[in-house]
């Protein structure tokens, strides 16, 4: 319905886009404010209390700390828009270089985690719904309930104990890089499993209740009555119609996937952005921390925006809400 | 359901009672001094003296787990109370004033969701250095938008009731009505949310402490015990088991309790589930 009315659609998209840009701006102000305006001298934080007054003054000048706050914000955001996030103090290279270097690791983990999460959730959720009220359903619900309570870092430790320490099938951590594809995949198996089992547990519950709702609808009964097999009805009729709430939850859960990736990288010592952010905290490398926090928050905001837009395309009923 | 309590409520209540009970007990009694190090007794196996054995510094595991339970409950309670109170206040305000104030508050709440507790804790730790206070602040902060949303949604429904219209006709102000009529009537959904957020807070504290952004030594924390155990995995794998089990029991308890409370307080949901 919404698609039949391009004017309304355009109005909706423009509104959402403006909202998205405003959100990003607000997030950048918050990040900048917390990292810069709060009491304390960043130069002192970076160099420590033993630093000489001269060194402090040099660093303040280099960081532009003597400029008024709003100029510093504009410089930072202007640079960031052009891909310049300043210079890392501990690594002595541009922050953007560090990001480009470590991005593939983080993206590999996030994508493999997301894909396995979704497969796991759809299969378990639909299977549970198809066996509603039977032992299979109870089993999935029980696992999902436990999965929600298990911290991903503990699950990681248990997986390392079993598969790396006892059985010695997989490496306990580290990443050889994609130049060694087999080694890279082997190194990604446990982190992906830890990420996907926890995230998948939450999503399996949503999939199950969403599929149950669709299965109660008349056309599903009609399809079954017209002689289509149970499996066919489940995958061809129920699942596509159950996808709308699932997409929403995937979007909402993206923030926890990002957090999960940061945690898992640290558990397995994977050289990605999540590991970099913690190295930067211990190195008191404020420009790097600031850039990475902004990057992670921007990714979350962007994905939520994309999900919002997709939502309208897959569910025309939403027209009423615009 | 006819008068019977839902299973999740009962299991949740039992687990919560267990964890809170142990945490309270640790105030007056633990089998050993949780911080007492006796290097001679390091890596003791479980026996009659050390029920779950000792760690790499000869500290009693059970005593540490008990004190860690108390720390975890305290962090969750303080964080959810602070974040919840501020969030409820904003939610009530949004609902009472409506119009652009409501829009603004809810928009800002949306933005708050873009900040996972971990990112917030990372920023604060980079500026001030990691501490338990920062973990509490970060967890409290992410609770504000959650409670603001729940409060506003529930409060908007109450504002449409006849007795609220009557109170307005009788000349009561928006804030007086919010305090006297709205707040008591949204207590149930807020308490349900609080219970669920308690579980989230326990999980968040454990993760932050595991990553070194929460409880600092020597204060015991389940998360930190796990990060220490990870370095000793080849020598003493059992150390990595118990703290994780404690986290699962505590989180499971509060989330089941929250689900159960929602089932008995929200009749609409009850009918759908039956």
- What are the residue boundaries of the structural domains of chain B, listed by start? 7-18+51-273
* pLDDT reported for residue B94: 93
Q: Which residue of B111, B126, B244 is the best one to mutate when testing the A interface, meaning the one whose CB has the most A CBs within 10 A? A: B126
Kindly list the residues from chain A whose CB atom is less than 8 angstroms away from the CB atom of residue B213. Answer: 281
Domains in chain A and their CATH numbers?
A: 6-81 (no CATH), 96-321 (1.10.3720.10)
pLDDT greater at residue A229 or residue A269: A269
Chain A, 127 to 186: residues with Cβ < 8 Å from chain B are: 145-146, 148-154, 157-158, 160-161, 165, 172
For B58, residues 6+ apart whose C-beta sits below 8 A from its C-beta are B36, B37, B38, B39, B40, B41, B42, B44
B211 contacts chain A (CB < 8 A): yes
Q: Give pLDDT tens digits for B27-41.
A: 887 787 777 777 777
B61 contacts chain A (CB < 8 A): no
User: Residue B208's closest chain A neighbor by CA?
Assistant: A263
Tell me if A287 sits within 8 A of A76, measured CB to CB.
no
Where does the pLDDT of residue A303 fall: very low under 50, low under 70, confident under 90, or very high at 90 and above? confident
* pLDDT reported for residue A300: 87
Angle in degrees, 0-180, between the axes of helices B99-112 and B132-159, rounded to the nearest 10 = 140
* pLDDT reported for residue A315: 62
CB contact under 8 A, A35 and B230: no
Q: What is the DSSP string of A145-194?
A: HHHHHS-HHHHHHHHIIIIIIIS--S-SS----TTSHHHHHHHHHHHHHH
- Say which of A27, A34, A35 has its CB closest to residue B111: A27
User: Predicted ipTM?
Assistant: 0.86
A256 contacts chain B (CB < 8 A): yes
- Kindly state the tokens that stand for A246: 């699932």
CB contact under 8 A, B255 and A149: yes
Q: Give pLDDT tens digits for A4-61.
A: 567 777 888 888 899 899 989 988 998 998 888 666 677 777 777 777 888 878 877 7
User: Residue A28's closest chain B neighbor by CA?
Assistant: B111
Q: Give pLDDT tens digits for A216-251.
A: 777 777 877 887 877 778 777 777 777 777 777 777
CB contact under 8 A, A293 and B240: no
Tell me if B69 sits within 8 A of B246, measured CB to CB.
yes
Give the separation between CA B102 and CA B87, rounded to whole angstroms. Answer: 13
* pLDDT reported for residue A227: 78
Tell me if B156 sits within 8 A of B95, measured CB to CB.
yes
- Say which of A35, A165, A266 has its CB closest to residue B211: A266
Give the separation between CA B112 and CA A23, rounded to whole angstroms. Answer: 10
- Residue B60 backbone phi and psi in degrees, to 5: -70, 125
Report which DSSP code applies to B47: -
User: Residue B130's closest chain A neighbor by CA?
Assistant: A281
Percent of chain A residues topping a pLDDT of 70: 94
- Kindly state the tokens that stand for B170: 């009788």
pLDDT lower than 70: segments of chain B: 1-3, 48, 58, 267-274
Percent of chain A residues topping a pLDDT of 90: 22
Question: What is the maximal distance between C-alpha atoms in chain A?
Answer: 84
- Indicate the CATH number for domain B7-18+51-273: 1.10.3720.10
- Say which of A152, A154, A160 has its CB closest to residue B233: A160
CB contact under 8 A, B203 and A151: yes
How many contacts, defined by CB atoms under 8 Å, are there between A and B? 123
User: Mapping DSSP to helix (H, G, I), strand (E, B) and coil, where does residue B213 land?
Assistant: coil
B231 contacts chain A (CB < 8 A): no
């Amino acid at each position: 319905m919404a698609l039949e009315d391009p004017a309304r659609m355009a109005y909706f998209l423009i509104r959402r886009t403006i909202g998205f840009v405003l959100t990003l701006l607000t997030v950048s102000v918050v990040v900048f404010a917390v990292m810069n305006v709060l009491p304390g001298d960043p130069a002192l934080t970076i160099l420590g209390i033993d630093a000489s007054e001269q060194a402090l003054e040099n660093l303040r000048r280099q960081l532009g700390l003597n400029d008024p706050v709003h100029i510093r914000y504009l410089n930072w955001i202007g640079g960031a828009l052009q891909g310049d996030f300043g210079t890392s103090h501990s690594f002595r290279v541009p922050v953007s270089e560090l990001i480009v270097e470590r991005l593939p690791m983080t993206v590999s983990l996030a994508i493999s985690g997301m894909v396995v999460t979704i497969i796991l959730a759809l299969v378990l959720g639909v299977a549970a719904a198809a066996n509603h009220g039977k032992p299979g359903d109870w089993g999935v619900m029980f696992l999902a309930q436990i999965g929600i309570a298990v911290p991903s870092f503990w699950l990681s430790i248990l997986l390392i104990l079993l598969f790396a320490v006892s059985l010695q099938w997989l490496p306990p951590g580290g990443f050889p890089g994609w130049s060694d594809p087999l080694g890279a995949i082997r190194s990604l198996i446990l982190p992906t499993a830890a990420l996907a089992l926890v995230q998948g547990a939450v999503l399996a519950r949503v999939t199950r209740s969403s599929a149950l709702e669709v299965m109660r609808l008349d056309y599903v009964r009609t399809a079954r009555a017209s002689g289509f097999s149970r499996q066919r009805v489940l995958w061809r009729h129920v699942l596509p119609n159950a996808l709308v709430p699932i997409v929403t939850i995937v979007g909402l859960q993206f923030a926890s996937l990002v957090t999960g990736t940061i945690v898992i990288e640290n558990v397995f010592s994977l050289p990605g952005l999540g590991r970099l952010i913690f190295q930067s905290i211990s190195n008191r490398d404020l420009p790097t921390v600031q850039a990475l926090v902004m990057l992670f928050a921007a990714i979350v905001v962007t994905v939520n925006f994309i999900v919002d837009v997709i939502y309208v395309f897959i569910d025309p009923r939403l027209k009423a809400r615009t | 359901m006819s008068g019977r309590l839902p299973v999740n409520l009962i299991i949740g209540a039992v687990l919560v009672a267990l964890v809170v009970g142990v945490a309270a007990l640790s105030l007056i009694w633990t089998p050993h001094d949780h911080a007492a190090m006796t290097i001679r007794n390091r890596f003791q196996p479980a026996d009659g003296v050390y029920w779950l054995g000792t760690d790499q510094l000869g500290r009693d595991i059970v005593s540490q787990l008990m004190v860690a339970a108390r720390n975890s409950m305290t962090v969750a309670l303080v964080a959810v109370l602070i974040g919840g109170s501020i969030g409820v206040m904003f939610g009530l305000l949004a609902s009472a004033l409506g119009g652009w104030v409501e829009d603004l508050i809810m928009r800002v709440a949306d933005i708050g969701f873009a900040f996972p507790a971990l990112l917030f804790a990372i920023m604060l730790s980079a500026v001030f250095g990691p501490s338990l206070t920062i973990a509490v602040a970060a967890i409290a902060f992410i609770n504000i938008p959650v409670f603001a949303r729940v409060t506003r949604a529930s409060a908007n429904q109450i504002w449409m009731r006849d007795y609220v219209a009557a109170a307005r006709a009788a000349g009561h102000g928006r804030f007086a009505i919010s305090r006297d009529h709205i707040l008591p009537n949204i207590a149930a959904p807020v308490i349900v949310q609080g219970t669920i957020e308690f579980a989230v807070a326990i999980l968040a504290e454990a993760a932050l402490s595991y990553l070194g952004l929460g409880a600092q030594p020597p204060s015991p924390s389940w998360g930190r015990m796990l990060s220490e155990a990870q370095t000793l995995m080849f020598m003493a794998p059992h150390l990595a088991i118990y703290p994780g089990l404690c986290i699962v029991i505590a989180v499971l308890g509060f989330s089941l309790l929250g689900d159960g409370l929602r089932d008995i307080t929200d009749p609409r949901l009850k009918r759908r589930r039956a």
